[in-house]
Amino acid sequence: MINDIQARTLLTTIKEPDSWFGLKYNLNLYRGCQHQCIYCDSRSECYRIENFNEDVLVKTNAIDLLRVELPRKRVKGTIGFGAMNDPYMPLEAERCLTRQALEIVADCQFPVHIITKSDLVVRDLDLLSRINRVYAAVSITVTTANDELAKKLEPGAPSPSRRFAAMRRLRDAGIVSGVTLMPVLPFIEDDDAALEALVAHAAASGALYILAAFGVTLRDRQRTWFYRQLDRLFPDLRRRYEETFGERYSCQSPRSRHLDDLLSRLCVHYGIQRRMPFYTPPAETLIQPRLF
């Protein structure tokens, strides 16, 4: 069900340095997500998103808020799209909140980073090219290069093949783009052949970087839902998770060290970085008020 809501504020400031994406601000235009990935951490109770598996909340006043809030930001830092949901879930094709927000970002000349599992992002190449006069980056999340496996794990998202094709178009347009390889589900996606195939596809698509986390986080409602899906899709695997990880929040693959070393070797082979290039602000980071 799609429900409209009113947000009090839109932009949140990230106080600690963000070592993954170099973000200064975060914004979320929706609550909930239609991609329905079986492992999504946003099902956790701490995020206070009720009925995550059924409802998507649309912040109908988000664009009005952004028009007011963004020009008031005196520090020009990277704005992150996609922290709590995918900004290019299917609903975006109809509502276009992400596109409208990017228009404001472009007008205000702020840098942007988008994280998504959707090839819908290429719809906005015109705006991303404008923003890229300052800095624009798009990280495409791919947890497996296997389209059939992805249908089970991420049933509402476009196939990995479509995501890699979108990355190729982004790179051809000069946009910074790479892969977020996270999560990597233990005992499902954490084998050498799977990693080698994914990196080969990323290289062929022009990926500049691969950011990886070889494991998954699990807590309260998220764990309950994930185990229910394991019972349905991978019989007997739940028992292996419970024996290996118990009630731990961080469920790192037992092969994580080996996989990390393998990824480093593959990235050297293909000329891919393990870190993404961040926006570097000019020496004067404060935005000077306009004089009329």
The three-state (H, E, C) secondary structure of 29-64, written as one string? CEECCCCCCCCCHHHCHHHCCCCCCCCEEEECCHHH
Model confidence at 50: pLDDT above 70: no
Read off the pLDDT of residues 89-142 as tens digits, 9 standing for 90 and up: 999 999 999 999 999 999 999 999 999 999 999 999 999 999 999 999 999 999
Q: What is the pLDDT of residue 53?
A: 62
Q: Return the pLDDT at 286.
A: 46
Tokens of residue 238, six digits: 């739940």
Provide long-range contacts, Cβ within 8 A and 24+ apart, for 150-153: 152/38, 152/233, 153/37, 153/38, 153/39, 153/185, 153/188
Q: Average of pLDDT values for 62-80?
A: 96
Rounded Cα distance between 239 and 3, Å, is 37
User: What tokens were used for 259?
Assistant: 């996989």
Alpha carbon separation from 13 to 26, 47, 73, 98, 217 (Å, rounded): 7, 17, 10, 19, 24
Q: How far apart are CA 167 and CA 102, in angstroms?
A: 18
pLDDT at position 269 is: 98
Res. 5: pLDDT tops 50: yes
DSSP state of 276: P
Q: In whole numbers, what is the pLDDT of the chain averaged over residues?
A: 93
Number of helices (H) and strands (E) in the chain: give both, helices first: 10, 12
What are the tokens at 31?
């609550």
Asked if residue 289 has pLDDT above 60, the reply is: no
pLDDT-derived band at 47 (thresholds 50, 70, 90) equals: low
Look up tokens 């991609």; give the residue.
35
Asked if residues 98 and 87 have their Cβ atoms less than 8 Å apart, the reply is yes
Note whether 157 and 119 are within 8 A (CB): no
Tell me what percent of the chain is helix, strand and coil, each rounded to the nearest 5.
40, 15, 40
What are the structural domains of the chain? 8-270 (3.20.20.70)
- Rounded CA gap, 76 and 56, in Å? 31
CA 62 – CA 97 distance, rounded (Å): 8
In the chain, which ranges are E strands?
Answer: 2-5, 12-13, 23-27, 30-31, 56-59, 78-81, 112-116, 136-141, 176-181, 210-212, 215-217, 250-252
Section 147-158 average pLDDT = 97
Q: What pLDDT, on a 0 to 100 scale, did the predictor assign at position 39? A: 94
